[in-house]
Structure 1
Amino acid sequence: MNVKHVLLFFVLFGFLSACHDKTVEPATESETDKWILEQMKYWYYWNDKIPANPNVSLEPEAFFESLLYKYNATTNPEGDRFSWIQESADELKAGLSGESKSTGMDYKLYYYPKGSSNVVGVVLYSLPDSPAAKAGIKRGDVFTGVNGQALTGANYSQLLNAEGVLTFSLGSITDDGVISESTVKKEVTPIVLQEDPVYFDTLFQYGSNKIGYIVYHQFFPSPNGSNSNQYDLKLDQVFANFKANNVNSLILDLRYNGGGYVSSSTNLASLIGKVTSNDIFYYKEYNSTVTPVLKKQFGEAYFYDKFKAKTQNIGSSLNHFIVLTSGNTASASELLINGLKPFMNVTLVGAKTYGKNVGSITISDDSKKIKWGLQPIVTKSLNSQHQSDYYVGFTPDFPVTESMKLYPYGNPKDPLLGEALYQIVGARVVRKMPQETARILENASEIESSITKKAGGSNMFYDK
Structure 2
Amino acid sequence: MNNAYHKQPIWQKPTLWLLAGFVLTLSSCNKKADDVSPQTTAATSSENATVDNWMLDNMRQLYYWNDKIPANPDTTLAPSDFFDSILYKFDATARPDGDRFSWTEEYATDLTASLSGQTKTTGMEFTLYLRSSGSTDVIAQVLYVLPNSPAAQAGLKRGDIISKVNGQTLTTTNYSSLLFSDATTYTFGLAQVSSQAVVDTDVSKTVTTAVYQENPVFLDSVYTIGGKTVGYLVYNQFVPAPNGSKATEYDDQVDAIFSKFKAKGVNELVLDLRYNPGGYTSSSANLASLIGKGVDASKLYFREEWNSTITPYLQQEYGSDFFLQKFSTKSQNIGANLSRVFVLTTDMTASASELIINGLRPYMTVTTIGTTTYGKNVGSITVTDDTGKIKWGMQPIVFKSFNNLGQSDYATGFKPSVEVEEPITLYPLGDTRDALLGAAIGQITGTATTGRVGVSQNPLKVLGSSIQRKAGGTPMVRSLKSLTL
In structure 2, runs of 5+ residues without a counterpart are 13-42, 481-485
Distance 2:328 2:69 in 1: 37
Equivalent residue for 2:443?
423
Distance 2:300 2:339 in 1: 22
Distance 1:177 1:434 in 2: 23
Task: Say whether the 8 Å CA contact 2:119–2:213 is kept in structure 1.
Answer: yes
Equivalent residue for 1:387?
407
Equivalent residue for 2:472?
456
Equivalent residue for 2:11?
10
Q: Could you tell me how far 1:345 is from its partner in structure 2? A: 0.6
- Post-superposition Cα deviations, 1:293-341, rounded to whole Å, max 9, x if no partner, equal 1111111111101101111100110133100011011000011111111
Distance 1:83 1:354 in 2: 15
Task: Say whether the 8 Å CA contact 2:273–2:345 is kept in structure 1.
Answer: yes
Distance 1:287 1:179 in 2: 50
Q: Could you tell me how far 1:228 is from its partner in structure 2? A: 2.2
Q: Could you tell me how far 1:3 is from its partner in structure 2? A: 3.7
Distance 1:434 1:330 in 2: 24
Distance 2:260 2:141 in 1: 32
- Post-superposition Cα deviations, 1:155-194, rounded to whole Å, max 9, x if no partner, equal 22222225132111112124x5322111111111001000
Task: Say whether the 8 Å CA contact 1:320–1:424 is kept in structure 2.
Answer: no
2:135 aligns with one of 105, 112, 116: 116
Q: Could you tell me how far 1:463 is from its partner in structure 2? A: 3.0
Distance 2:140 2:11 in 1: 29
Distance 2:241 2:75 in 1: 38
Distance 2:437 2:218 in 1: 16
2:291 aligns with one of 244, 252, 272: 272
> Is 124-133 or 406-415 further displaced after alignment?
406-415
Aligned pair in 2 of structure 1 residues 220, 391: CA closer, same or farther (>3 Å)?
same
User: 2:127 corresponds to which letter in structure 1?
Assistant: K
User: 2:373 corresponds to which letter in structure 1?
Assistant: T
Distance 2:401 2:198 in 1: 43
Distance 1:311 1:183 in 2: 53
Q: Could you tell me how far 1:461 is from its partner in structure 2? A: 3.2
Task: Say whether the 8 Å CA contact 1:9–1:265 is kept in structure 2.
Answer: no
1:299 aligns with one of 319, 333, 336: 319
Equivalent residue for 2:357?
337
Distance 2:308 2:217 in 1: 38
Q: Could you tell me how far 1:8 is from its partner in structure 2? A: 3.6
Q: Answer yes or no: is 1:262 the counterpart of 2:281.
A: yes
1:441 aligns with one of 458, 461, 475: 458
Distance 1:119 1:217 in 2: 25
Distance 2:452 2:316 in 1: 59
Equivalent residue for 1:366?
386
Equivalent residue for 1:53?
72
Q: Answer yes or no: is 1:354 the counterpart of 2:354.
A: no
What TM-score do the two structures reach when normalised by structure 1? 0.92
| Aligned pairs for 1:145-164 within 5 A | 145-160=164-179, 161-164=181-184
**Same amino acid, percent of matched pairs:** 50
1:142 aligns with one of 154, 161, 164: 161
Equivalent residue for 1:40?
59
Distance 1:299 1:426 in 2: 48
Equivalent residue for 1:178?
197
- Post-superposition Cα deviations, 1:364-386, rounded to whole Å, max 9, x if no partner, equal 11333212111110111111122
Helix, strand or coil at the partner of 1:334: helix
Distance 1:162 1:294 in 2: 41
User: 2:458 corresponds to which letter in structure 1?
Assistant: L
| Aligned pairs for 1:237-256 within 5 A | 237-256=256-275
Helix, strand or coil at the partner of 2:355: helix
- Post-superposition Cα deviations, 1:245-298, rounded to whole Å, max 9, x if no partner, equal 100000000011000001100100000001122101111111111111111111
Helix, strand or coil at the partner of 2:255: helix
Aligned pair in 2 of structure 1 residues 434, 45: CA closer, same or farther (>3 Å)?
closer
Distance 2:416 2:479 in 1: 27
Task: Say whether the 8 Å CA contact 1:171–1:180 is kept in structure 2.
Answer: yes
Aligned pair in 2 of structure 1 residues 30, 276: CA closer, same or farther (>3 Å)?
same
Equivalent residue for 2:425?
405
Helix, strand or coil at the partner of 1:116: coil
User: 2:471 corresponds to which letter in structure 1?
Assistant: A
Distance 1:72 1:407 in 2: 38
Helix, strand or coil at the partner of 1:154: coil
Task: Say whether the 8 Å CA contact 1:10–1:357 is kept in structure 2.
Answer: no
Task: Say whether the 8 Å CA contact 1:260–1:331 is kept in structure 2.
Answer: yes
Q: Could you tell me how far 1:99 is from its partner in structure 2? A: 0.4
- Post-superposition Cα deviations, 1:406-448, rounded to whole Å, max 9, x if no partner, equal 11011222111111111111015xxx79999434532x22111
Q: Could you tell me how far 1:9 is from its partner in structure 2? A: 4.8
What TM-score do the two structures reach when normalised by structure 2? 0.88
1:78 aligns with one of 89, 92, 97: 97
Distance 2:113 2:6 in 1: 16
Aligned pair in 2 of structure 1 residues 344, 244: CA closer, same or farther (>3 Å)?
same
Q: Could you tell me how far 1:7 is from its partner in structure 2? A: 5.0
Q: Could you tell me how far 1:2 is from its partner in structure 2? A: 5.3
Distance 1:126 1:145 in 2: 18
Distance 1:10 1:369 in 2: 26
Task: Say whether the 8 Å CA contact 2:233–2:270 is kept in structure 1.
Answer: yes
Task: Say whether the 8 Å CA contact 1:177–1:436 is kept in structure 2.
Answer: no
User: 1:378 corresponds to which letter in structure 2?
Assistant: V
Distance 1:349 1:133 in 2: 28
